[in-house]
Amino acid sequence: QWTPHEVMHATTHLKGISGAVLSTRDGLLIASALPPDLVGEKVAAFIPQMFGRMTQYAKELGFGGSGQFTFLSEGVAFQIFSVADGFFAVIGRSGETLPRIQLAAIAARLSQPV
């Protein structure tokens, strides 16, 4: 089992990642490693709302449910995964692609029962 600190360390050392957050299902911060202009508690609070709305929209469009989604804002990717006890989110670096295989592996590991 990884500690939240180990998850943040492993994630933020991947190429293309500028930050990461672990949050509970109700938006409480578990751990974060973010750029200085972002506040972990604020990001964690919005993650469940964003995930819930995007899941609802995807279902309404006929795309089905999803365990993760990604969006881009001004060239920066933001990806949220639903994991066992909450959410795992990452913020990319401007103009760079996310390391999708490595992130999926981390999310799968976080989704395993404790």
pLDDT of residue 64 exceeding 80, the answer is no
Element (H, E) at 82: strand 76-83
* C-alpha span between 27 and 49 (Å, rounded): 8
The pLDDT of 79-99, averaged and rounded, is 95
Which residues are 87's β-sheet partners? 23, 82
User: Which of 57, 23, 25, 26 has its CA nearest to residue 43?
Assistant: 23
Residue 85 — pLDDT band, cuts 50, 70, 90? confident
68-73 and 76-83 as β-strands: parallel, antiparallel, unpaired?
A: antiparallel
pLDDT of residue 34 exceeding 70, the answer is yes
